[in-house]
A and B are shown apart, each in its own frame.
Chain A
């Protein structure tokens, strides 16, 4: 095994552990934040950068939190697939078709996370201002540089996944040479 593959295996093990930890801690802290009131209206107001009415119907707040939960779930899917990839690397399965497919999946979920991030902000602003009198409701659509970066990274990962599929085919062919 080459030095690079040995280093990769050595790096993959702690990274898989870190991903496992993130899978536990992210929903835990999100839940704690929800219970402790971190996501109350004044916090949402600051996060979204809009002025909210004094009272927002509970159903609307629940809808915003549900949408936030979907965003967290998408992020967890990205991390779950990263963990899967690191476990494959730790086992030495670097150029297998499964690793290539997992890299593509990470890219797809990352793209979904980025797109949903944009939709989520738009939806949250709309829902939170829906109870406002007519003329004071807001609709905010915007891309942040972070969204763009995430989308480009997602595209890059999908491309790398395809390249890895070709690498897997070549590795398989190489194995059938003596």
Chain B
């Protein structure tokens, strides 16, 4: 069964009541890049970026990424 990776960053941001702009500033990437990540329009995410997001949002990588069956 083929699966695709869905980014659940918007859910975590909502849970932490944090705005995209604040997160982008905290982890040191542009809002545009963060928006692309949120919408899943990226080919990948570096461990470095993932670690910074996890540190700021106090979560695990599994809270941000989910494997779902491909439509």
A residues neighboring B (CB under 8 Å): 173, 176-178
Contact = CB atoms under 8 A, between A and B. Distances in A.
Nearest to A177: B44
Contacts of A176: 42-44
Contacts of A178: 29, 33-34, 36-37, 42, 44-46, 49
Range of interface residues on B (Cβ < 8 Å): 10 to 19
19 contacts: A173-B43, A176-B42, A176-B43, A176-B44, A177-B42, A177-B43, A177-B44, A177-B45, A177-B46, A178-B29, A178-B33, A178-B34, A178-B36, A178-B37, A178-B42, A178-B44, A178-B45, A178-B46, A178-B49
Nearest to B27: A178
A178 B33 CA distance: 7
Contacts of B45: 177-178
A132 B34 CA distance: 79
A98 B34 CA distance: 28
A170 to B, nearest CB: 12
Contacts of B42: 176-178
Contacts of A177: 42-46
Given A177-B46, A178-B34, 15 more contacts: A173-B43, A176-B42, A176-B43, A177-B42, A177-B43, A177-B44, A177-B45, A178-B29, A178-B33, A178-B36, A178-B37, A178-B42, A178-B45, A178-B46, A178-B49
